[in-house]
Amino acid sequence: MYNLIQIEIMKALKIKIIILTLFVSSVFTAEAQFLDCPSKLKYMRPKAPYKYSSLSKSAPCLTGKTYEFMLPLTKGKDFRISFYASPIFNNKIKFKIIDKNTGEKVMDLPGETEMSSKGECVLKGYFDDDIGRIVHPYFDFYPSSTVTLRIVIEVESIEQSSSSNSNLKVPEVRNKGCVTVYIQEKKGEKKGFN
């Protein structure tokens, strides 16, 4: 009799643990679906001598979609651009920066590469031997005239595993997360013999 009571209690505990686990995972999923991306910019701190630029944007994005962001840069300022993305994307994002006036591709880099190191990716930090610490990638722009950059952000789809014997189409899963284009600016320095 005592063993039967213990078995019933253990079954009830297992059921409660399963329900609690499902509840917690649904809360995290719901949190990921209802993101307040612009508030992420509040926690970003510029690195001196740069200051925060109001051109910075953070927006909710879905896997399998492409987004564009127009960035007007003015002469007389130096700009530093960094990219951040929610972990749900697993760095599977491609970034292209195109000069809107000339159509020239300025940058075409993935969010991560297998051999990630300085200058090879956009989202993954690297160890900088010169300063002896990990640095998040950034890209500096020194416009000699006013220019508009078109930033194209391609968020890759999540691969679905489906049964090879099934003729049913599996709907594509669309995960939602934040992608942030963080921009810092400072007064441009005089360069050259002017």
Residues 81 and 2 in one domain: no
- For the chain, helix, strand, coil in percent to 5 are 20, 35, 45
In three-state secondary structure terms, 140 is strand
Residues 21 and 72 in one domain: no
Residues 49 and 118 in one domain: yes
Residue 163 lies inside a defined structural domain of this protein: no
Residues 72 and 136 in one domain: yes
H-run or E-run covering 21: helix 2-33
Domain count, the chain: 2
Residue 86 lies inside a defined structural domain of this protein: yes
In three-state secondary structure terms, 137 is coil
Whole-angstrom distance, CA of residue 95 vs CA of residue 97: 7
Residues 100 and 114 in one domain: yes
Q: What is the pLDDT of residues 36-85, one digit of tens each?
A: 898 888 888 898 999 999 999 999 999 999 999 999 999 999 999 999 99
Residue 165 lies inside a defined structural domain of this protein: no
Q: What is the pLDDT of residues 143-174, one digit of tens each?
A: 989 999 999 999 998 765 555 555 666 666 78
Residue 73 lies inside a defined structural domain of this protein: yes
Residues 140 and 54 in one domain: yes
Q: Give the side-chain half-sphere CA count within 13 A for 137.
A: 21
Residue 91 lies inside a defined structural domain of this protein: yes
The model's pTM is: 0.71
Tokens 């994002």 sit on residue? 93
Whole-angstrom distance, CA of residue 109 vs CA of residue 138: 12
- R_g of the chain, CA atoms, integer Å: 23
Q: What is the pLDDT of residues 118-131, one digit of tens each?
A: 556 788 888 888 88
Whole-angstrom distance, CA of residue 82 vs CA of residue 85: 10
The residue length of the chain stands at 194
Residues 66 and 133 in one domain: yes
In three-state secondary structure terms, 88 is helix
pLDDT over 70 (residue 24): no
Q: Which of 15-29, 36-50, 103-117, 128-142 has the lowest mean pLDDT?
A: 15-29
Residues 46 and 97 in one domain: yes
Whole-angstrom distance, CA of residue 187 vs CA of residue 96: 25
* Strand partners for 84: 180
Residues 41 and 110 in one domain: yes
Residues 42 and 22 in one domain: no
pLDDT over 80 (residue 30): no
Cα diameter, the chain: 96
Task: Tell me the one-letter amino acid at 27.
Answer: V
pLDDT over 70 (residue 175): yes
* Residue 3 structural domain: 1-34
Residues 3 and 47 in one domain: no
Residue 61 lies inside a defined structural domain of this protein: yes
Residue 194 lies inside a defined structural domain of this protein: no
Residues 152 and 98 in one domain: yes
